[in-house]
Amino acid sequence: MTTIPRPLTSRQIQILTIINDWQSSRRYSMTLQELSQQLGTSRTTAFEHVEALREKGLLKHSVGKARSLNLTPKAQKLLKQNISEQPQRNISLNDGIPLVGKIAAGYPIEAIEQNETLNLSECFGHDVFALQVRGDSMIDSGIFDGDFVVCRKTQTADDGRLVVAIVDEQNATLKRFFKEETCARLEPANENYSPIYTNNCRIQGVVVGVIRKI
């Protein structure tokens, strides 16, 4: 009897992304303890997640070796497909959201009800796509795990722009883009992460907005 593989949970995809981003930015593997800290869980819970992914052929690690958490080629292919598919899902911007008035973030103002619609296409323009953020490398730019970034499709970007980039044709990342003399620098916004320097960087879009559920 052929066993149908169970689909990955969002938590498992998050774990694979965290391990992949860590390896890409630091150029060495993370430890189980570091993974548990990133997840905000106990070391035992992190170990259980790792074992489940290892049984699915997506993670490999060496017993007795601290820095040995690595994605298998199968996992790298899965993440690549997941990222490459997401930009094709254009978000619907035409329905609009009821705009019922203004709210003060400083001194209180008089509440005056309006009967208008906030058209998101007017805010972000057309030819855009949305991605959900996984990880904390851009928290100092106000972008947190679970946020949605709205991106305009483009293959070029000015220095300092926040971009969605594909590195080495397999790793997708959200970083600020800078042109160096001999390569591109993808700069995180978290002191715990190092910049990524690469000669193989393909831009898929620039960020034009952030959406957050609270």
In the set 62, 175, 194, 213, the catalytic residue is 175
Contact 75, 18 (CB under 8 A): no
In the set 137, 141, 194, 213, the catalytic residue is 137
Q: Which amino acid is at 183?
A: C
Buried/exposed 113-152: b ≥16 CB within 10 Å, e otherwise: eeeeeeebeeebeeebbbbebbbbbbbebebebebbbbbe
Could you write out the DSSP letters of every residue in 51-81? HHHHHTTSEE--TT-SS--EE-HHHHHHHHH
Q: Which of 162, 165, 164, 159 is nearest to 199 (CA)?
A: 165
Q: How many CA atoms lie within 13 A of 161 on its CB side?
A: 20
Q: How far apart are CA 118 and CA 205, in angstroms?
A: 24
Per the rule left: phi > 0, alpha: psi between -120 and 50, beta: everything else, 93 is alpha
Q: Which residues pair with 117 in a beta bridge?
A: 98
Look up residue 209 and give its two tokens. Answer: 């907005």
137 catalytic? Reply is yes
175 catalytic? Reply is yes
- Catalytic positions are 137, 175
